[in-house]
Amino acid sequence: IVVFGETGAGKSSLINLMAAKDVADTFCGIEASTTHWKEYSIEFDDESFKVFDTVGLDEPQQGIPQFFHAVENASRLIQNLEREGGIDLLVFCMPAGRLKATHQRIYWLFRYFLCDKKVPIVLAITNLEREQDMEGWWKRNQKTFHKKNISVDGHACIAAIEHHPILQAESHTAIWNLVVKNVTADGQKRARKGGNGLFMSTMPHAGNENPHMRKIVSRLAKRCHMSPEVARQLAD
């Protein structure tokens, strides 16, 4: 299970919620608490799940080197997991609030570019501690996701802050119901959809980088709505 999202979205808190204990470091600040993808083994219902926390992604304009570092970490993780058998689930972690262009680009990057639509994807909406009805947030906002072309296989509205024990218990159940539903089918492990992902299959090779580079730049610009300049630098 690969958890991704922007910096400060609550990915580490989500993983702690799934584990029902503190296993991932969290940091209340503007800087990322995760600078390299991290792996956690989490037990649930007598099964073991490998959960990966990725580097937070922000707008490239806020720091080109940091953005490229995050994408490189993500692409290496995806490639490693492809070689090891595939990925069962992508979990897009985002805080409740306005749906931003950043969220769209992050979604498109993982969904279409890194995983080429081969992996189921679900949405975990965080920071809902002040909502009387957490699910009500999704009911009010789901049309906006459709309008922004963010399509998911399921969602969970959660609160991961420890001083809300009742909400935390509800959220723990909600996130695991979502995960189990999307990684299993009729009680059997869902077949992994791995294989040669788009990022790997379009990587430039020595001696013929030009056509491959053009393809990468085109896909980054069109699928992830990046500027040609950023797409070119990222392709490099």
- Domain-embedded: residue 35: yes
> Which of 50, 14, 45 is CA-nearest to residue 175?
14
Structure tokens at 168: 């935390």
User: What's the domain range around 224?
Assistant: 208-235
State whether 165 and 230 are in the same domain.
no
Same domain, 160 and 50: yes
Tokens of 108: 């498109």
Answer yes or no: are the C-beta atoms of 160 and 17 closer than 8 Å. yes
SS3 3: strand
The pair of structure tokens assigned to 85 is 């058998």
Q: Is residue 86 one of the residues assigned to a domain?
A: yes
What digits encode the pLDDT tens for the residues 178-229? Answer: 999 998 754 455 544 444 444 444 444 444 457 778 888 888 888 777 888 8
Residue 227 lies in a domain: yes
pLDDT digits (tens, 9 = 90+) for 90-139: 999 999 999 998 899 899 999 988 998 899 999 999 999 888 899 999 99
Q: Are residues 123 and 21 in contact, defined by beta-carbon separation less than 8 angstroms? A: no
198 within some domain? no
Same domain, 7 and 115: yes
Domain assignment present for residue 195? The answer is: no
Number of folded domains in the chain?
2
Residues 6+ apart with CB under 8 A from 31: 7
